[in-house]
């Protein structure tokens, strides 16, 4: 096996981003007022996002520059020339995404520096990222056949976090990605994740979230090679009076690619939950399989749950499905517990934990399970 080179450096913004900043910025401004953008913000109250500035508009949001110098940079090796060149050409892949993620692109543009990691072909790396505050954008490129275990943790002390992660998986690369979005009760998170997969690449996301007052997560995944495979498991617990807003766009741009998503969410009292899962299958992509299942459970009488699973399909020979449910705990399950002498509160707690547990997975599952269970139990206390 080839020895991996892991680079994390503070190299300047890549050429393509600095070349024509004027044009780019106007493109971003234009993209920010498109209908797509308007709809994506539909469910999020911006007043809540920036309580200090009630009049903020989406375009203001987009140009919030991250404070400089706060990004964690754990520089290890200087990259050699070849690796840097490869990196610069790799980064070009990001530019076409402008229309879909103008805010994230804007952050890339405005960043003082970018964290870049390159895993050599056939190599393996484990990267752990602790999210503490505003982060410089992170770009991770996996060479052919390489593997990566990526573990991201949000520190509960974070009050305001904006971050971007861009993953590029070359042919046959494999990523197991865990995200523990366990913020504190004051945490506001705005997270953007972009994943591009080439042929036979495989990407697993174990996405766990709870505890944040406000959590907005955009995930864009492009399957642009034959045999690419994506699996997402999401377990979310939204505490009382909090807000979770998740948008996942799964784009199948190549034949014979597969994706599977399962997202379970529990909404606490007075919370607001939005899930928008879009599956797009482009023209000429036969043999695609794409499935999405979103289930939402509420433990109180006041909560708002919006879910919008979408299918947009331009190829006939595909197998697609999505399902979404909103509901409360099944009476017959509760009765089953009662008939065995278990009190209602315990029964509810166990059922809620079970509901989430089915979607808790990956290397960080154990930690996530503990946090989620504790919170589920706390949420379930009579108020």
Partner 1 sequence: MKDNTVQDLVDTNSEYQAGFVTNVESETIEPGLDESVIRFISEKKNEPEWLTQWRLKAFEDWQSMPTPEWAHVQFPPVDFQAISYYSAPKSQTDGPKSLSEVDPELLRTYEKLGIPLHEQEALAGVVKDPDALSALQSNKNVAVDAVFDSVSIATTFKEKLAEAGVIFCPISEAVHSHPDLVQKYLGSVVPRRDNFYAALNSAVFSDGSFVYIPPGVRCPMELSTYFRINERNTGQFERTLIVADAGSHVSYLEGCTAPMRDENQLHAAVVELVALEDAEIKYSTVQNWYPGDENGKGGIYNFVTKRGMCRDRAKISWTQVETGSAITWKYPSVVLRGEDSIGEFYSVALTNNVQQADTGTKMIHMGRNSRSTIVSKGISTGRSQNSYRGLVRVSPNASGARNFTQCDSLLIGDTCGAHTFPYIESSRPDAIIEHEATTSKVSDDQMFACQQRGIDPEKAVSMIVNGFCKEVFRELPMEFAVEAGKLLEVSLEGAVG
Quote the least distance from Cβ 289 to partner 1, whole Å.
11
Quote the least distance from Cβ 286 to partner 1, whole Å.
7
Q: Can you spell out the DSSP letters for 146-199?
A: -EEEEEEEE-TT-SEEEEEEEEEE-TT-EEEEEEEEE--TT-EEEEEEEEEE-T
Quote the least distance from Cβ 327 to partner 1, whole Å.
5
Nearer to partner 1, 8 or 244 (CB): 244
Q: Residue 253: how many CB atoms within 10 A of its CB?
A: 19
Quote the least distance from Cβ 322 to partner 1, whole Å.
5
- At residue 74, what are phi and psi to the nearest 5 degrees? -110, 75
Q: How far apart are CA 255 and CA 289, in angstroms?
A: 9
Instruction: Using CB under 8 A, list all residues that contact partner 1.
Output: 35, 39, 267, 283-284, 286, 298-328
H/E stretch holding 290 reads strand 289-298
Quote the least distance from Cβ 331 to partner 1, whole Å.
11
Whether the CB-CB separation of 198 and 175 falls below 8 Å is answered with: no
Q: Could you tell me if residue 200 is left (phi over 0), alpha (psi between -120 and 50 degrees) or otherwise beta?
A: left
Q: How far apart are CA 336 and CA 302, in angstroms?
A: 26
Quote the least distance from Cβ 147 to partner 1, whole Å.
33
Nearer to partner 1, 153 or 315 (CB): 315
Quote the least distance from Cβ 284 to partner 1, whole Å.
7
**DSSP conformational letter for 249:** E
Quote the least distance from Cβ 309 to partner 1, whole Å.
6
297: which strand partners?
Answer: 266, 327
H helices, E strands: number in the chain: 10, 16
Nearer to partner 1, 134 or 295 (CB): 295
Q: How far apart are CA 41 and CA 30, in angstroms?
A: 16
Whether the CB-CB separation of 248 and 221 falls below 8 Å is answered with: yes
């Amino acid at each position: 096996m080839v020895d991996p080179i892991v680079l994390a450096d503070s190299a300047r913004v890549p050429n393509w981003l600095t070349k024509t900043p004027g044009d780019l910025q106007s493109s971003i401004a234009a993209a920010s007022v498109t209908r797509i953008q308007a709809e994506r913000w539909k469910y999020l109250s911006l007043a809540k996002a920036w309580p200090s500035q009630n009049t903020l508009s989406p375009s203001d949001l987009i140009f919030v520059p991250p404070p400089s110098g706060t990004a964690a940079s754990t520089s290890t090796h200087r990259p050699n020339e070849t690796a840097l060149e490869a990196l610069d050409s790799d980064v070009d892949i990001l530019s076409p995404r402008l229309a879909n993620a103008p805010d994230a692109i804007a952050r890339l543009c405005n960043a003082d520096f970018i964290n870049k990691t390159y895993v050599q072909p056939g190599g393996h790396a484990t990267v752990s990222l602790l999210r503490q505050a505003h982060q410089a954008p992170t770009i991770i490129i996996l060479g052919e056949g390489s593997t990566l275990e990526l573990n991201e943790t949000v520190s509960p002390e974070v009050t305001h976090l904006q971050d971007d992660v861009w993953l590029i998986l070359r042919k046959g690369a494999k990523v197991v990605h865990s995200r523990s979005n366990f913020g504190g009760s004051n945490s506001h998170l705005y997270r953007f994740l972009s994943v591009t997969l080439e042929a036979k690449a495989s990407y697993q996301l174990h996405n766990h979230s709870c505890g944040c007052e406000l959590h907005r997560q955009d995930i864009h995944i492009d399957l642009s090679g034959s045999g690419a495979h994506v699996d997402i498991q999401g377990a979310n617990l939204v505490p009382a009076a909090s807000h979770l807003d998740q948008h996942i766009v799964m784009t199948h741009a190549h034949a014979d690619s597969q994706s599977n998503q399962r997202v379970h969410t529990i909404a606490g009292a007075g919370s607001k939950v939005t899930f928008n899962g879009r599956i797009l299958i482009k023209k000429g992509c036969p043999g695609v399989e794409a499935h999405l299942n979103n289930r939402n459970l509420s433990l109180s009488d006041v909560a708002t749950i919006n879910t919008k699973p979408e299918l947009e399909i331009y190829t006939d020979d595909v197998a697609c499905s999505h399902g979404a449910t909103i509901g409360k705990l099944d009476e017959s399950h509760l009765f089953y517990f009662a008939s065995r002498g278990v009190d209602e509160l315990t029964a509810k707690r166990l059922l809620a934990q079970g509901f989430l547990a089915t979607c808790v997975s990956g290397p960080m599952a154990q930690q996530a399970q503990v946090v989620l269970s504790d919170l589920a139990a706390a949420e379930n206390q009579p108020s």
